[in-house]
Structure 1
Amino acid sequence: MPERIIIIGAGHAGGTAAITLRELGFKGFLTVVGEEEHAPYERPNLSKGFLSGEETEPVWLVPHERWEALDVAFKSSNSAVAIDREKSEIRLSDGSYVTFDTLILATGGRVRTLPLPHHDAVHYLRTTDDARALASKAKTGASVLVVGGGVIGLEAASTLKGMGLSVVVIEASDRLLGRNIPSEPAQWMTDAHTRIGVEIRLGCALSALTDGQNGAVTASFDDGTSQDFDLVVVGIGIIPNTDLAEASGLSVNGGIVVGSDYRSPDDARIFAIGDVAARLGSRMETWAHAQTSARIAAHAILGLPPELEPTPWFWTDQCGHNLQILGEPASADAVIARDNNVRLYMREGILVAAICMDKPREFAAARRLIGKTLNAELAADPATDLRKAV
């Protein structure tokens, strides 16, 4: 049993790891190092209710007083500069040092920035401060260019349109949500944006940003056209923060390499969780993964029986619709259209993934049935309870 656990990263994964360790009975010293001044919070609402002003506070992992009751020490507005594995010591940006018996790396990622000179009109959306800065300039009637047709870009587009801005989304590829959502469900969301008046431009890339008229910014596109906007919001992914791990000699391959229990193969005292963890060759950036990776690592650290890794899933709320994605649709060899808004993805007759829009009960049933063989005819009949298709 370690006596001193240090968690680098005070985001969702890092905070969940601290909470879980205490709930599982860890009594030693527990320190969380975080670059932000805030206590750990969840990120999904930053592009939705928090950005719009419907919610004045981020979604905190736990109430502030709970951290004191858990006896978790925070080193906020701080970052780790170097890990000395021989000395079991970490140097922090304020010049201090902390020692560890066990180290959890929950360093997350940083936004991928435009390959263009900085312009004051450009906003990214990763932290509460980012959301507040964007909200302060998102005035009704203003125009905004959203660069990137992924989840974050589209959630921001939906929210800003609802706040009374005119919105144009550009995406360099030939469809939206191309990273991990099949084309048909992606089209559901494309249509939803079009219905509320968001303009979608596919196969379009930004080539330059220059000062425009009356404080606007002129966006030039690769097709030779240009247009003035008041704001530019960029959502083109994140870069996992692996520099610290790599400098200390840990294996990195698209993320910090870890095994099934999120332990580094290079140092049994070190774990990586959340967005930065490349578990068995796969890295995920979801709310659910932040939760589950933190819990699995905590069990391993304390020598407790492992929790099973659930089937990956995530959701997105856009344009008044809720889209939920379960499993790996790309691994399927057949698709069952259960109704207009439910798709079941099968491999050799086994349910391996599901995507539902505004169908929470169907999604809940699919989560319970994942990995089971289904009768395709019954599964395709929306009048039949999906559970009876097993």
Structure 2
Amino acid sequence: MSERLVIIGFGPVAASLIEGMLPAVLSGDCELTVLGGEQHAAYNRVLLAEVAIGAAKPEHLSMADESRLRAAGVDLRLGVAATGVDRARRVVHTGDGHLPYDRLVFATGARPVIPSLAGLNFDPHADTALPAGVLALRTLDDALQMQSLLRGGGRVLVLGGGILGLEAALAMASAGYEPVLVHHGPTPLGRVVDLDGGTLLMRQLEAAGVSVLSEVRATGIVKHQGRFSALATETHGPIPADALLLSTGVRARTELAEGCGLNAGSGIMVNEQLMADSSARIFAIGDCAQVAGQRPAGLLAPGWAQAGWLAQFLLTHPAPHPAGPAPDLSSIPGPEAHGGDILMLKGQGLELTAAGTVQVGLFQDPDQQVTVYADPTSGQYLKIVSRDRVPTGFLALGLPRTGAELALNFERGTALPADPALLLRLDAPFEDSQASAAGAEDQLCRCSGATYGQVSDAIEAGCDTVAAVGESCRAGTGCGGCRDRIEEMLKLLPASSR
């Protein structure tokens, strides 16, 4: 008999799992039902800001071919949300009825954190209805709503100094709008930059067209005729604007799992094999999963790695018999983590790469070595923190090649040059040959986890565009930060091999 598999959620990670399960669906070994709360099939949330500013069309974000999946036999139920799970009867309840399952996968993702400001309905466990003019850029509908607001030529406040807020603000600035970034710390990206690097970052944001207001204590929103009109603050008084974009983090959607008795912390708690229960019937992947005690990474690469591993596991390990004992699967290695440590920001002439922590003073810890280089006039700043010459954290601003080299050092755990200042030559003119050659196993695309070797294989197999490479190995299909590198690799091909 075919196994009944139900996936709750239809984002990019769920789409990857579905692709991996297609052989079993086509052979009749698996009855696959997917519940998607949105009316849209899986799409790339990383590029929502591009839709909001009109630089990309909604269909360009698609990451799943709905008609092809249906034709293969996948039961896609878009706009249908799960309302509960009965683990004893192995049933998922929906507004339309109920679905029996043999195995169940939570791929519910995360929802935006709505700050507890006066005038906003704060609920950490539900999708909050926001007032007109207030939005959180998490769904395609949010992006389309923001696009309408921007076309009206209004002033937009971006609340939050994290990577998502900065990316949204830079995207708006690139399209000629005038966003204002409002955050509570002394500098944006306060968790990954030190004070000097953060100061230079603010200067570069301003040069890119993003106004920055720091150390703001927001208390609520002001509405006029039912619409947002200003952000109320203790420190700066009311800050007027036509719209407010909330970018204050995300929280895993765990309430459905908790409602059926599963444990949850920062995400649904699963072991290294992604199992949320002791019977090996329920799993969680992606932004909703807290794997072996680690917080959800919030990136595509780890989620895709989990989806690929889980598909292979489900294909090779049948569901346990209802009357039998749970199998002992503790000896099976779980999925490897990918790309969760490197932060990259690029746009409007601003290039930042960081990893680990650089919140260390020059003489704070004698066991750590700290190297700092600063040239504010040129917009360049470098700080490296290392132990036994192996980097434990770094920040490279305005030094893209140096940042790329340090990212390789950080990921590999390899030692820095005896004189770390030599790394600065990588961003000097005509010094490209100084960089260490990336190996086949080194990661090129931090969203998909695709390696240099996989991209080379795709090119050798006949892929002659970035889009074709993406279809082959997913490189370049996430944030787009690796597209320039793929273009360089394509140019290196002899014309006769294209």
TM range (shorter): 0.7 to 0.9
> How has the CA–CA distance of structure 1 residues 330 and 296 changed in structure 2, closer, same or farther, with 3 Å as cutoff?
farther
Distance 2:370 2:18 in 1: 41
* 2:12 aligned residue: 12
Contact 1:144 1:233 in 2 (8 A): yes
Return the offset for 1:84: 1.0
More displaced 10-residue stretch of structure 1: 111-120 or 207-216: 207-216
The 1-side partners of 2:144 and 2:276 are apart by 36
The equivalent position to 1:292 in structure 2, one of 292, 305, 310, is 305
1:310 aligned residue? 338
Amino acid at match of 2:17: A
Is 1:387 the equivalent of 2:399? no
Equivalent position amino acid for 2:14 in 1: G
Contact residue 6 and residue 30 of structure 1 kept, 8 A: yes
For the pair 1:28 / 2:30, whether they are aligned, the reply is: yes
Match of 1:125 among 103, 125, 137: 137
Q: Which moved more, 1:368-377 or 1:6-15?
A: 368-377
**Residue in 1 aligned with 2:108?**
107
Quick check: 329-338 or 1-10, which moved more?
329-338
1:153 aligned onto 2:165: yes
1:42-81, aligned counterparts within 5 Å?
42-47=44-49, 49-57=50-58, 58-68=60-70, 70-81=72-83
Q: Which amino acid aligns with 1:97?
A: H
Which whole-Å CA distance do the structure 2 matches of 1:90 and 1:24 have between them? 21
2:350 aligns with 321
User: 1:349 maps to what in 2?
Assistant: 389
TM-score normalised over the length of structure 2: 0.69
- Relative to structure 1, the CA distance from residue 338 to residue 83 in structure 2 (aligned partners, 3 Å threshold; closer, same or farther) is farther
Inter-partner Cα distance in structure 1 for 2:83 and 2:334 = 32
Q: Is the 8 A contact 2:372 2:382 kept in 1?
A: yes
Distance 1:159 1:185 in 2: 21
Q: Structure 1 pair 250/267, CA: closer, same or farther in 2 (3 Å)? A: farther
C-alpha offsets along residues 134-182 of structure 1, whole Å, 9 cap, x if unaligned?
A: 1101136421111111122222211222333322211112221234555
Whichever residue aligns with residue 89 of structure 1, its letter is V
Q: 1:232 to 1:107 in 2, by over 3 A?
A: same
The Cα of 1:319 is off from its aligned counterpart by 3.0
Residue 251 of structure 1 contacts residue 266 of structure 1 at CA under 8 Å; is this kept in 2? no
Which structure has the bigger radius of gyration?
2
Cα drift, residue 2 of structure 1:
7.5
The secondary structure found in structure 2 opposite 1:239 is strand
The 3-state SS of whatever aligns with 1:298 is helix
One-letter amino acid of the counterpart of residue 370, structure 1: E
Q: Deviations over 1:330-387 (max 9, x none)?
A: 7994455589466555344334555555626852773476243314425541247453
- Does the 8 A contact of 1:274 with 1:289 survive in 2? yes
1:98: how far off? Answer: 1.3
Q: What displacement does 1:78 show?
A: 1.0
Which secondary structure state, in structure 2, belongs to the residue aligned with residue 262 of structure 1? coil
Work out the CA distance in 2 between the residues paired with 1:127 and 1:262.
26
Q: Distance in 2 between matches of 1:330 and 1:274?
A: 28
Greater mean deviation of Cα atoms: 230-239 or 157-166 = 157-166
Question: 1:91 maps to which residue?
Answer: 93
Letter in 1 for 2:86: D
**Cα deviation digits, residues 221-277 of structure 1 (max 9, x gap):** 112522321111111112211111111111111211112222225442111111111
Match of 1:251 in 2: 263
Cα distance in 2 between the residues matched to 1:71 and 1:356:
48
Residue 289 of structure 1: how far off its partner (Å): 2.3
Aligned length: 387
Matched, 1:373 2:414: yes
Following the alignment from structure 2 to structure 1, what is the Cα–Cα distance between the partners of residues 410 and 345? 22
Change beyond 3 A, Cα 1:151–1:244: same
Letter of the structure 1 residue corresponding to residue 436 of structure 2? R
**Counterparts of 1:167 and 1:232 in 2: how far apart (Å)?**
10
Q: 1:146 to 1:369 in 2, by over 3 A?
A: closer
Which residues of 2 match residues 254-265 of structure 1 at below 5 A? 254-265=266-277
Partners of 2:9 and 2:37 within 8 A in 1: yes
Alpha-carbon distance between aligned partners in 1 of 2:187 and 2:406, rounded to the nearest angstrom: 29
Is the Cα contact below 8 Å between 2:218 and 2:233 reproduced in 1?
A: yes
Higher relative contact order (CA 8 A, sep 6+): 1
Whether the aligned pair in 1 keeps the contact of 2:302 and 2:339 (CA below 8 Å) is: no
CA RMSD of aligned residues (A): 3.4
Structure 2 Cα separation of the partners of residues 289 and 186 of structure 1: 28
Letter in 1 for 2:80: N
Pairing partner for 2:238 from 207, 226, 249 = 226
List runs of 5+ in structure 1 lacking aligned partners: none
TM-score with structure 1 setting the length: 0.86
Q: Tell me which of 206, 227, 235 is aligned to 2:247.
A: 235
CA distance in 2, matches of 1:155, 1:166: 14
**Secondary structure class of the residue paired with 1:114:** coil
Q: Secondary structure at the match of 1:83?
A: strand
Within 2, Cα distance between the matches of 1:261 and 1:281? 12
Residue 98 to residue 137, structure 1, CA distance change in 2 (3 Å): same
